[in-house]
Structure 1
Amino acid sequence: MAWGPFRFGTDRWDPTHRFETSWLLSPWLLFCIRALISLYCFTTLVFVLAWQCVHDETGCTASQNQFSYFTSLSYWGLAFYFLAAAVHTFTYARSGVPLLDRFPRPLQALHSAFYTTVVVYPFIVTIVYWALLYTGTWFAETYGGWSNVSQHALNSVFAFFELVLTRTDPPPAMHMLWLILVLALYLALAYVTAADKGFYTYSFLDPGRQGGLVAAYVFGIAVGCLIIFGVVWGIIWLRKYITETKLGKTGKFTEPSGHSAGSGKDLEMSRPQETHVV
């Protein structure tokens, strides 16, 4: 029983396709939006790397260092999530059976955890950047303003889209453990970077400048992560309650032939109710 929360489950995976559908958008439109978001994220990441290689005095060193920053790593996560989500939505819209349904159960569970990171971490990045790292004056260059807004503001807009317009269930409480574990692994990476490359990715992690406050910052961000998880859980629950219970918008579905279903409510009621996936 002690290992129960860590099991992948044996019930049917996501029988009403909540990861590939929306209560408002058709599967084809949801696919297009997710694909566009993924394209924008990848374009931003590649352009930032190329710009720094061309314009930075040290050449591509700054671009190489990007992979030590949580902002950059989480943005890569956004790009790959929306790419994967777009593929799953496309296969569902085309055939009625998403590619995700054909995956082994561990990969399906990992996709669920991936979703949780995508709707939690961007808000941490946005809050920490504008509250602790932003200098208070707007960027003198267009590139600086665009790159920082893209990575420290639009990231949360993209996460909010997934929270509000999809049909996902509230994430399992067990995901809090994985959120904190990933943050702990990043903390280790930050100090490995300091030892290997001689700089701290974020000033609040530098014990030489912050002293004992480093522990307070680390603990505060961990607590903040759990608070954001709780807020995200509440937003998803509220979205389901308003759209499905109050408004009766149970979802926009696709028939196996790939054509839009005539009645989303009838299609939802004709499918078995899913159990909570851990």
Structure 2
Amino acid sequence: MAGQAFRFGTDRWDPTHRFETSWLLSPWLLFLCRALICLYVFTTIIFVLAWQCAHAITGCTASQAQFSYFTSLTYWGIGFYFLAASMHTFTYARSGVPLLDRLPRPLQALHSALYSTIIVYPFIVTIVYWGLLFSGSWFTEVFAGWSNISQHGLNSAFALFELVVPRTDMPPAVHMAWLILVLALYLALAYVTKASKGFYPYDFLDPDKQGALVAAYVFGIAVGCIIVFGFAWGAIWLRKYVTETKLGKHGKFANKGHGYGAGEDMEMAKPQGSTTA
């Protein structure tokens, strides 16, 4: 895995357009769904920022601290992924050749890595929030309930959509290392936040309150990341097995360009699995 970590692959990139097609939806409908999710995510982000500035006692302080929280960073990532995915799907539906195919190989590999974060991190955010951070009492304000459901509930629904509906292939195993690295970088950011702004984004990272349990929490989340990655990988494998092997639904393609019909060999080349970032 270490030897593959910085290789982008030399095989043909995604020859059957798995990133832009679905076994269930036409390319135009897949584009519409991804575009609507993108719109909802960025609308949520902007509204939350504006609401906090207008209603919080401390003014825009909460909004200014947004990038200190893994939840917010992950939600921004979801928004940008669906923005890119909808753009690639649109160009494929319109011309048969997605914009992603025209990008340099490193950017294609980074899109693959971004996809892996989208099908892993939202589940971690949801599990940690409702299992560890949620007080147990439901929110008294409609805004608080809606914003938390959007960022700690619908985030996983969006990830599940990407697991089930598109034809994406299983992510390469090397992406586990990058997922853990990003979590480690976030841990460093949390302590930079403490040094620069005077607070820990999450109480379970505070050694003064948790003591040695901080290491247990960090290790547990890292192990959880590997488990969720395995779940996502298995879910994609199961979806491919059921839809393609058992049901024969090889995908709905654009009428133009380089789409592949159901009677053709859908695995003529490795579409995604050998690509790393």
State TM-score, norm by structure 1.
0.95
Aligned residue for 2:269?
Answer: 273
Greater RCO (Cα-Cα under 8 Å, separation 6 or more): 2
- Structure 1 letter corresponding to 2:270: E
Q: Deviations over 1:155-195 (max 9, x none)?
A: 00000000001101110000000000000000000000011
Instruction: Tell me if structure 1 keeps the 8 A contact 2:4–2:174.
Output: no
**Which aligned pairs between 1:49-60 and structure 2 lie closer than 5 A?**
49-60=49-60
Q: Unaligned stretches of 5+ in structure 1? A: none
Q: Unaligned stretches of 5+ in structure 2? A: none
Aligned residue for 2:99?
Answer: 99
Structure 1 pair 56–13 and aligned structure 2 pair: CA distance change class (3 A): same
RMSD: 1.7
**Which aligned pairs between 1:85-124 and structure 2 lie closer than 5 A?**
85-124=85-124
Aligned residue for 1:176?
Answer: 176
- Structure 2 letter corresponding to 1:86: S
Structure 1 pair 209–271 and aligned structure 2 pair: CA distance change class (3 A): closer
Taking the aligned partners of 1:161 and 1:139, their CA distance within structure 2 comes to 27
Give the 3-state SS of the residue equivalent to 2:262 in structure 1: helix
Q: Identity, % of aligned pairs? A: 73
C-alpha deviation, 1:58, in angstroms = 1.2
Instruction: Tell me if structure 2 keeps the 8 A contact 1:13–1:277.
Output: no
Paired residues in the alignment total 274
Instruction: Tell me if structure 2 keeps the 8 A contact 1:38–1:82.
Output: yes
Aligned residue for 1:32?
Answer: 32
**Which aligned pairs between 1:68-79 and structure 2 lie closer than 5 A?**
68-79=68-79
Structure 1 pair 2–96 and aligned structure 2 pair: CA distance change class (3 A): same
Instruction: Tell me if structure 2 keeps the 8 A contact 1:94–1:257.
Output: no
**Which aligned pairs between 1:199-278 and structure 2 lie closer than 5 A?**
199-256=199-256, 264-266=261-263, 268-269=264-265, 272-274=268-270, 276-278=273-275
Instruction: Tell me if structure 2 keeps the 8 A contact 1:21–1:30.
Output: yes
Give the 3-state SS of the residue equivalent to 1:200 in structure 2: coil
C-alpha deviation, 1:255, in angstroms = 2.1
C-alpha deviation, 1:249, in angstroms = 0.3
State TM-score, norm by structure 2.
0.95
Give the 3-state SS of the residue equivalent to 1:3 in structure 2: helix
- Structure 1 letter corresponding to 2:202: Y
Taking the aligned partners of 2:29 and 2:2, their CA distance within structure 1 comes to 43
Q: Deviations over 1:27-60 (max 9, x none)?
A: 0000000000000000000000000000011111
Q: Deviations over 1:70-105 (max 9, x none)?
A: 000000000000000000000000000000000000
Taking the aligned partners of 2:97 and 2:45, their CA distance within structure 1 comes to 31
Instruction: Tell me if structure 2 keeps the 8 A contact 1:90–1:98.
Output: yes
Taking the aligned partners of 1:63 and 1:98, their CA distance within structure 2 comes to 36
Taking the aligned partners of 1:96 and 1:22, their CA distance within structure 2 comes to 14
Deviating beyond 2 angstroms after TM superposition, the runs of 4 or more aligned structure 1 residues are 1-6, 268-278
Aligned residue for 1:151?
Answer: 151
